[in-house]
Amino acid sequence: MNENTKSGSKPVPVRLRIGTRGSPLALWQAHAVQAALATALAVPAEAIEINVIRTSGDQIQDRALAEAGGKGLFTKEIEEALLDGRVDLAVHSAKDVATFLPEGLHLAGYLPRADVRDALIQKAGKGLDALPAGARVGTASLRREAQLRRLRPDLKVELLRGNVHTRLAKVREGDFDATLLALAGLTRLGMADAASAVLDTADFLPAVGQGAVAIECRVTDPDTNAAIAAIACRDTGIALDAERAFLTALDGSCRTPIAGLATVEGDSVRLRGLVMTPDGSDAAEIAERAPVSEAARLGTACGEILRASAPARALGL
């Protein structure tokens, strides 16, 4: 219980400042964290401010992110605001958070994870099987590209960047026959019905962190850490510890097609990992289980095993 809910005591003014990108998806996620914090701390939503921060990633639209310098692009300016004390916490799609964080910052918790799967969006037909030979699929994700090529070497996979609305419009207008998007993002934007099919994780493995909302703050800020702990989802934290350790062991950047998914089942956590050559011609997979207390070690061990595989060597990992 915090100061504001103790009866009789004088309320302590709570003021937390959230830093976020300004995209509709980012704003939805920031509002979800704001609402959860307001409830947990028993304060009005206005006590949790939302500050929109423009990132370099928002400004680059013409290149694959891997070319432009990786996923840190969506978090750099927000992390600078955290380190300067201009905001107290940052809300990100966990998938977009770089493998290594700046000194002094950490991921203090996650909202309960949404659906982790990728959705296929196409005008005609449902699943991947319905795509005609040679169909043009737009994506900016090396992981989606490699898995698509692996399953359907006949498809033409081409660069398609931009926010969810832009990508859906490109398919609607016929510039592409199909695209792939995280179902979680579509759902948050109220557009889940745009999905023609949802791809089973057995066939198509999501990105590390997909569907999870991560909350970052300064390591040395006890009030903010306590507030985040009050809303953090334990199972999502365990799964993300395993997945992010897996990514760290592979030193995965945006240039490496890597997929990974951990799930908590009772007292144990199961991790599936996949590393591929960009053209999908070679891939190495792993699936292992460990007690939840060993989540990070499980991720590291799986990453190290895959790092010794042929596709990883082809990528210079």
Q: Which residues in this chain contact ligand PBG in the complex, by CB under 6 A?
A: 93, 95-96, 181-182, 184-185, 210-211
Rounded to the nearest whole angstrom, what is the least distance from the CB of residue 206 to ligand PBG in the complex? 8
Q: How far apart are CA 279 and CA 290, in angstroms?
A: 32
Contact 189, 166 (CB under 8 A): no
Characterize the bridge pairing of strands 178-182 and 118-122: antiparallel
Choice among 62, 84, 88, 96 that is catalytic: 96
Q: How far apart are CA 60 and CA 111, in angstroms?
A: 28
Rounded to the nearest whole angstrom, what is the least distance from the CB of residue 121 to ligand PBG in the complex? 10
Q: How far apart are CA 210 and CA 185, in angstroms?
A: 9
Q: How far apart are CA 178 and CA 120, in angstroms?
A: 7
Which of 96/216 has CB closer to ligand PBG? 96
Which of 180/250 has CB closer to ligand PBG? 180
Q: What is the 8-class DSSP label of residue 254?
A: T
Q: How far apart are CA 144 and CA 266, in angstroms?
A: 30
Contact 148, 157 (CB under 8 A): yes
Rounded to the nearest whole angstrom, what is the least distance from the CB of residue 184 to ligand PBG in the complex? 4
Q: Is 96 a catalytic residue?
A: yes
Question: What are the distances in angstroms from CA 288 to CA 31, 102, 147?
Answer: 36, 30, 21
Rounded to the nearest whole angstrom, what is the least distance from the CB of residue 68 to ligand PBG in the complex? 13
Which of 119/302 has CB closer to ligand PBG? 119
- Residue nearest ligand PBG by beta-carbon distance: 185
Which of 235/282 has CB closer to ligand PBG? 235
Give the residue numbers marked as catalytic: 96
